[in-house]
Amino acid sequence: MAWNRFLLLVTISASLLFGGCLRYSFTGASIPPGVNTIFIPFFPDQSNSGLGDLSDRLNQTLINRFVNQSKLQLANNESDADAVLDGVITAYSNRPFSIGGNEQSNQNEVTITVRGTFKYASEDEEEWSKPFTGKFTYDPAENPIDGENEAANGALEQIANNMFNDAVSNW
C-alpha cells in the first residue's frame, strides 16, 4: 500500500514538473515563447507567369495559413515582427501533363517555384532559405482559363503548406 502511494506521488510530481516543458497544439504548430507576430511581405513575381495577381494570391494564402493555423498575429511591418517570411516567385509553367489518343493534352500541369526565407527578428542568421515547388493538374478541354487559375491556386496551397510546415517544424 505504501509502495502504491509512493509511486502515485512520484508520477504526479513528475507530471507537474515536466508538464510545463511541453507545448502541444492540435494544429501541429508549437510556437516558441516570445514569438507572437509574423510579417509576410508581398513576394515579387519574377516568373513571367502572365498572371498579374499571382503575388497577391500567394501572399493571402500564406497569411491565411500562418494566422489560422497558429497563434501568430500578422505584423504590419518587419520592425514590429518577431518572425519574417519573405521570398520571390521564381518560376511558373503550364505544360501538358498527359496526352490522349488524339495527341491532345488530357491534363495540363501548373508548376510554381518560390524561393522562401524564414528568419526570427531576434536572430542574425536565417532559419532557412530554400526553394518550394507546388504542382497541380487540370483538364484544358473544359474551361482552360479557369482550370489554369484553379491549378495555380492548388500549387500555391502546396507551397504555403510546405513553407508553414518547415517554419513550425523547428518550433
DSSP-assigned letters across all residues of 98-141? EE-TTSSEEEEEEEEEEEEEEEETT-SS-SEEEEEEEEEEE-TT
CATH of domain 2-169: 3.30.160.150
* Domain positions in the chain: 2-169
pTM listed for this prediction: 0.79
pLDDT bracket for residue 6 (50, 70, 90): low
Using alpha carbons, select from 127, 134, 126, 122 the residue that is nearest to residue 65.
134
pLDDT bracket for residue 154 (50, 70, 90): very high
Q: What is the mean predicted confidence (pLDDT) over 103-119? A: 91
pLDDT bracket for residue 143 (50, 70, 90): confident
Model pLDDT for residues 58-78, shown as the tens digit of each residue: 999 999 999 999 999 999 999
Using alpha carbons, select from 94, 84, 164 the residue that is nearest to residue 124.
84
